Amino acid sequence: MREDPRPDPLSLESLSPARLEPGSVALLGGGPGAFDLLTVRALALLRQADVVVVDRLGPARLTDLLDAHVEVIGVGKTPGSHSMRQGEIEQVLVAKALEGKRVVRLKGGDPFVLGRGGEEVLACRAAGVPVQVVPGVTSSIAGPAAADIPVTHRGTAVAVHIVNAHGDLGPADLAALRDPGTTTVLMMGVEWLPRLVAQALLNGIDPATPVAVVQNATTPQQRAVRGTVGTIEEIVRSEGIGFPSVIVIGRTAAEGFLEPESPEAPVAAGALEGSGRQALDAGLEAAGAEAPARTGRVPVLIGCSHGTRSREGRDVLRALLRRIAQHAPGEVREAFVDVQSPDVAAVVAGHAQLTATRTREAESVQAVVVPLLLSLGYHVKDDIGGAVAGRAAIAAAPLGPDPRLAEVMAQRLDEAGLRPEDTVVMAGSGTRDPEGVAQVHEMARLLSEQIGREVTTGFAYAARPSVAEAVAAAHGRSGADCEGRVVVASYVLAPGHFHDLVAAAGADVVAAPLGDHELVAQIALERYETALGA
């Protein structure tokens, strides 16, 4: 029997005419991990490479199958460590191409979906190196799909929101989480899941919202767990789910969504009309779904902190708010003055009507802003005062001065190793407000009573003496021959700019900030109740 001389129309050579020329770079999206999810074009170019610069994610093990003459350069990143900086990766691509090599940059997923592919294209073109881009199957879509989670489904989800989850959720991310018609996919976020959950809950995301986490999607090691915003943190911890994972939040992530007999199954297509938002509205109506509503008449507690660019500081503030929420009679929300969102005025506006529109006297107070600030000043009087003015909201007193804060500071001093011969300076963040300054001095008096020794006061900014001046004066009183140290009690709530100023003031030892502490939460709850006249 004569063989058919015609080429196989489904062969790699027939399907892809792509060429990788010497002195050029091909930026390949390698897909989510499974070898057979690499595109035909990507495979064709990979087989032509002299050099392959490869990430740790995606089909990285494909490089084990390349010819021996191919140079493989691993530049993969892992959480908390980087084997090669982004700028260094770009330098390698350019240098190898300028040597006349055919260079493949093999990336996981799609190079332009949270893959820094655009940066690498720009670097190559700036150096005069020709570069081509091959799209890949993004893990943000394939990861959920591999676990039977459609990111869109007529009548249930009409939009997808993809987030780099390394940092805080932004306003657009929180809006997507609130929208019942949007599926939110959090990439690279499993390590930060406690932070993401805390922020979501403190911004009013329904704790019953379905969540799925898919680890090692499309590979033989794939694992998936499901829960809700309120339960997923513990589920992931107990099941040992780790990196790399995709987090999916929305109604299509519910257990049994694609099981016809499941109570979580979507409305049958025959009950829907139209497409997009029209079908979504019909699906919600057919399912009997309602928008979440506040229960009862208990005023919401808005914990308002000074914003911080410190990730550690934000974590401390949210841990404290979650501790407060465990004992609060109603809902608890986060808000900030300066630096960070959500702004306190916006949060108050979202929970308290304008006073002119109130219809019931019983609802005269709908929100109480509890300043998670330690003394009076501009932020309490102007920012928070302005936020509640003209609305069905009131502002509570700041946390300090209070003897329990002295108790917490004494504990932090003990943890820092305070010795009997040491001199103590209490450092406040600072304010130009005379009442606020007096409150800080009163707090120093309370701390002095608590620890049974003299405590002087310094301020990180605005007021005098500065912390540096107070520390220098304490060193002068101690004398060069004194064995005692100057130890600073940090009268700030969380790590951040003000604590950094305190730490740089020249003391021998600086105690930790007040932080997430049961006594601090207790004071905040009392301020809330006192504001309501309880």
Q: One-letter amino acid identity for 155?
A: G
**Burial code of 445-471, b = ≥16 C-beta within 10 A, e = fewer?**
ebbbebbeeebbbbbbebbeebbbebb
Q: From the candidates 50, 55, 402, 516, which is the catalytic residue?
A: 55
DSSP string, 225-242: EEEETTTHHHHHHHHT--
Q: Give the position of tokens 């709908």.
A: 366
CA–CA separation, 45 and 48 (whole Å): 5
DSSP string, 101-145: -EEEEEESB-TTSSS-HHHHHHHHHHTT--EEEE----HHHHHHH
Contact (Cβ atoms closer than 8 angstroms) between residue 200 and residue 168: no
CA–CA separation, 302 and 335 (whole Å): 7
> Sheet holding 332-337: strands in order across?
332-337, 300-306, 367-371, 393-395
The three-state secondary structure class of 162 is strand
Judged on CB neighbours under 10 Å (0-12, 13-18, 19+), 420 is exposed
Our answer to whether residue 55 is catalytic in this structure is yes
Contact (Cβ atoms closer than 8 angstroms) between residue 424 and residue 453: yes
Angle at 490 between CA 488 and CA 492, to 5 degrees: 165
Tokens of 29: 């999206």
CA–CA separation, 407 and 146 (whole Å): 53
In angstroms, the Cα distances linking 251 to 157, 196, 228 are 7, 18, 10
Neighbours of 222 (CB within 10 A): 16
List all residues 6 or more positions away from 104 whose beta carbon is below 8 Å from its beta carbon.
20, 25, 26, 28, 45, 46, 49, 51, 52, 53
Q: From the candidates 187, 188, 409, 443, which is the catalytic residue?
A: 188
Active site members? 55, 77, 188
